[in-house]
Amino acid sequence: MSQQIRKAAGKLGILTPGMGAVATTFMAGVIAINKGLSKPIGSVSQMGNIRLGKRTEDRNPLIKDFVPLANLKDIVFGGWDLYEDNVYEAAMHAKVLDAHMLLQIKPELEAIRPMKAVFDRTFVKNLDGTYIKTGANKMDLAKQVMDDIENFKDANDLDRVVLVWCGSTEIYFEASEVHSTIEAFEQGLKDSDPNISPSMIYAYAAIKLGVPFANGAPNLTCDIPALVELSKLTSTPIAGKDFKTGQTLMKTILAPGLYARALGVSGWFSTNILGNRDGLVLDDPDNFKTKEVSKLGVLEDIFKPEDNPDLYGEIYHKVRINYYPPHGDNKESWDNIDIFGWMGYQMQIKVNFLCRDSILAAPIVLDLALFIDLAKRADMSGIQEWLSFYLKSPQTAEGLRPEHDIFKQLIKLQNTLRHLMGEDLITHLGLDYYQELVDEIL
């Protein structure tokens, strides 16, 4: 049975707290696509196919033709930043897309202007923007964000809105008492508790209004019991954390392959250099720590050393990120992987990925926004683990180990879509094909 999914009628607002390299590349890309200047390459929702039924049925539609997603032409963009630049200026500053392309969509980009940010330098030390809200306390700031969301919806005649956090990585801290229940959190907002970060204020505002929220950075944000609880109370889908691009994308492609072949791994050294504003923020040790924790969990969960001590018990995993301005957004990563095979013989794999961070992240913002909007229309609330495919450090129910293997994550995403649309789930068992052949012969 197909679930009741409300139609994607009318316009969808996508609001991003943070309008830097990733957000502006995403917005410019969708506008360019709508003008016929480009194609949504890297977006699984737009260019990915999904097999339905048996292999003999030959049904393999594009995902966007299978599930009722918002049309790209119905999207309206907005957001918040602590720098007042409009999206054209911010995209020129980010230098991800070439000026010639940006010129062709300049009027559309100039029309997208940030709203004043909720910002606190304690959480992002290397930024000094001044386009910032003031308020009596953190609850007051949250209310201002709620007003922004509702005013944006009215002003643009929107049917629905979603938020995707594209702001800088906040410093590392762990969940504490104030994050444990919604009562404690709301009291903390009124008391301006120092353990409530700006990203949590945006997340609270969205979830309180029933607006879906996805987190593209490794900060805790909505990954705290209080906001998970609120998301259920307000029937709001949430997802996080940290867009899976670049080096971690490669890691979750390669590691499952080594694991599948029962090859041993003794070391994985990963280093990166990047020169964008994200790199500048991550140059601070407290902000880097948040990213490091997000990146380190991946191998642990794929290799499960406690189940395979002979193969992975001694693995040495190190991640480094260095700020190197000449490279701009073109991040370069090196991975040295020490592996061993039959009778313990050692081998090495070297990966040098010259990637473009925001080019990989932009379609993830699009897919997360479209799928989390679909989830809302399908009455799915709380943590949307099926969106782990896009995330480096997937948010899961308490006590549940995240799934990092990108191929299992894709199966989970596709099976969720099949389930929503009343199609059979695909197990890849395949014995039935042979049974039918046998029956036909008999």
Ligand X SMILES: NC(=O)c1ccc[n+]([C@@H]2O[C@H](COP(=O)([O-])OP(=O)(O)OC[C@H]3O[C@@H](n4cnc5c(N)ncnc54)[C@H](O)[C@@H]3O)[C@@H](O)[C@H]2O)c1
The nearer residue to ligand X, 82 or 339, going by C-beta atoms, is: 82
Q: Which of residues 1-30 bind ligand X (CB under 6 A)?
A: 17-23
Distance CA(200)–CA(226), nearest Å, equals 10
**Non-local CB neighbours of 10 within 8 Å, separated by 6+ positions:** 74, 157, 158, 159, 160
The nearer residue to ligand X, 264 or 394, going by C-beta atoms, is: 394
Q: Which of residues 125-144 bind ligand X (CB under 6 A)?
A: 127, 129
Site pattern 141..180 for ligand X (x: CB under 6 A) = -------------------------xxxx-----------
The nearer residue to ligand X, 242 or 373, going by C-beta atoms, is: 242
Q: Do residues 277 and 358 touch, judged by C-beta distance below 8 A?
A: no
The nearer residue to ligand X, 249 or 265, going by C-beta atoms, is: 249
Binding segment for ligand X (CB under 6 A), chosen from 254-262, 317-325, 353-361, 375-383, is 353-361
Q: Which of residues 255-294 bind ligand X (CB under 6 A)?
A: 276-278, 281
Q: Do residues 97 and 329 touch, judged by C-beta distance below 8 A?
A: no
The tokens 């890849």 sit on which residue?
Answer: 428
- Pick from 307, 256, 324, 292: nearest CA to 392: 292
- Pick from 261, 111, 135: nearest CA to 205: 135
Structure tokens at 372: 């989390």
Number of residues that bind ligand X (CB under 6 A): 37
Site pattern 186..205 for ligand X (x: CB under 6 A) = ------------x-------
Distance CA(23)–CA(73), nearest Å, equals 18
Sort 95 into a burial class: Cβ within 10 Å, 0-12 / 13-18 / 19+: middle
**Non-local CB neighbours of 162 within 8 Å, separated by 6+ positions:** 12, 13, 14, 15, 211, 212, 213, 214, 369, 372, 373, 376
Among 29, 216, 240, 297, binds ligand X (CB under 6 A): 216
109 contributes a contact to ligand X by CB under 6 A: no
- Pick from 364, 276, 372: nearest CA to 324: 276
Q: How far is the CB of 138 from ligand X (least distance, A)?
A: 12
The nearer residue to ligand X, 166 or 196, going by C-beta atoms, is: 166
Binding segment for ligand X (CB under 6 A), chosen from 70-78, 79-87, 250-258, 309-317, is 79-87
The nearer residue to ligand X, 117 or 417, going by C-beta atoms, is: 117
- What is the contact surface with ligand X in residues (CB under 6 A)? 17-23, 80-83, 94, 117-119, 124, 127, 129, 166-169, 198, 216-217, 242-243, 245-246, 276-278, 281, 357-358, 360-361
